Amino acid sequence: MSGGVEWALHCCVVLTSVDEPAPAARLAQLHDVSPSYLAKQLQALSRADLIRSVQGKAGGYVLTRPPSEITVLDVVEAIEGPGPAFICTEIRQRGPMATPPEACTAPCAISRAMANAEVQWRAALREVTIANLADDVRGDYGPGALAGIGTWFREDS
Amino acid sequence: MSGGVEWALHCCVVLTSVDEPAPAARLAQLHDVSPSYLAKQLQALSRADLIRSVQGKAGGYVLTRPPSEITVLDVVEAIEGPGPAFICTEIRQRGPMATPPEACTAPCAISRAMANAEVQWRAALREVTIANLADDVRGDYGPGALAGIGTWFREDS
DNA sequence: GGGCAAGTACTCGGATAGGCCCTGTCCGAGTACGGCCGG
DNA sequence: CCGGCCGTACTCGGACAGGGCCTATCCGAGTACTTGCCC
């Protein structure tokens, strides 16, 4: 799985506690990661309409929806792409004992098993929202953790 | 996800209906895939003790256990590796607002959410065995489908 | 003092190279079978 | 006719290149703020 997913999720949680637009360079500085590459991930989130870009001098990125309406699955699909991880190449229709195409109306048993597992995976990710993550962070490190990041964005350095 | 997983699963299902050792070249011919590359996947299954190799002139691969005791998860982990797909790089401990290491005894909320989703995914794959897949194949295409493959292995061509 | 306009500096966005892992391939080590020879 | 031995042919196993996607980077287009000027 792409490592950019972790960066994107952290950025979404941070955006929860910042009402002003947050520039990509500042987010990269906060996480100590490559600014250029993080910009690419944020562009992917922007294309998926999870965040909106504000141009100009005091511009940056802002969440387009309340954090409780953005799921972890949304972020993962925005970065990794909406397609399934397992792709059936229909090898049952190849070779000397190939299954005739007219008998292949339904996906094969292997494809069904893998697809079902991915459904379970997606369901688990869909149950967790960015707001849930932010609440968990407050519970783990205290309410001031996210608030401190919010104020840090207004400082210079 | 590696495409070799699909090949490996199909090979395991085929091995269900073949009691004699099945050579890798014959399995590749049956599925019309690269013999050399399929050999690599079968070696991975052998290292995981899911199949056992029989050397010599009439050698090949045989399942080491009853098909009902081999899960799809076993095959996936043998090919893809047992490690998790999402790897937390602990970026919460980096940057100017880094969380102190003594507060990082438990995984972060993002890591927990992703790990939980993978647990669900693994659980779904663990519920399906190779025997279940073989039964589904018989249900989909008739009982003679797998049996025909079994007899095909004894023919020349 | 207020309004307007130009300049500036900061922002995002897409197009562009490099590295690592998956894909695909090859040849060598090892072993069971088949044939041959000797008893 | 039977047993032992050798040759062969077939098998797996690990080591070796090529391609594609992820990682990382850069520069250009666009916009809001600031500043200076004019009325």
Asked whether residue A83's C-beta has any atom of DNA/RNA strand D within 7 A, the reply is no
Per the CB < 8 A criterion, the answer to whether B114 and A128 are in contact is: no
Query: What pLDDT is stored for residue B155 in this prediction?
Result: 80
Which residue is associated with the tokens 């960066």?
Answer: A7
Calpha distance B129→B119 (Å, rounded): 17
**A107 pLDDT tier (thresholds 50, 70, 90):** very high
- For the entire predicted model, the pTM comes to 0.91
Write out chain A residues lying below 8 Å of B86, CB-based.
1, 5-6
* Count of structural domains within chain B: 1
Please state which of the ranges A6-10, A27-31, B99-103 shows the lowest mean pLDDT: B99-103
pLDDT digits (tens, 9 = 90+) for B131-152: 999 999 999 999 999 999 999 9
| Rounded percentage of chain A residues whose pLDDT exceeds 70 | 99
pLDDT(A154) > 90: no
Closest residue by Cα to residue B92 from A21, A11, A24: A11
Kindly identify which residue of chain A lies nearest to residue B12, measuring between CA atoms.
Answer: A110
Check residue B22 and report its DSSP letter: B
Q: How far is B88 from chain A (nearest CA, A)?
A: 7
- Report residue B51: phi and psi, to 5°: -125, 160
Query: What pLDDT is stored for residue B87 in this prediction?
Result: 95
Calpha distance A59→B128 (Å, rounded): 51
Q: Which of B3, B113, B145 sits opposite A128 (nearest CB)?
A: B113
Calpha distance B130→B74 (Å, rounded): 10
pLDDT(A130) > 90: yes
Look at B30 and A120 and tell me if their CB atoms are within 8 Å: no
Query: What pLDDT is stored for residue A18 in this prediction?
Result: 93
pLDDT digits (tens, 9 = 90+) for B94-121: 999 999 998 899 999 999 999 999 999 9
Instruction: Report the mean per-residue pLDDT for chain B.
Output: 94
The domain that holds A50 is classified in CATH as 1.10.10.10
Domain hosting residue A77, numbered range: 3-155
- Report residue B131: phi and psi, to 5°: -65, -40
Query: What pLDDT is stored for residue A157 in this prediction?
Result: 59
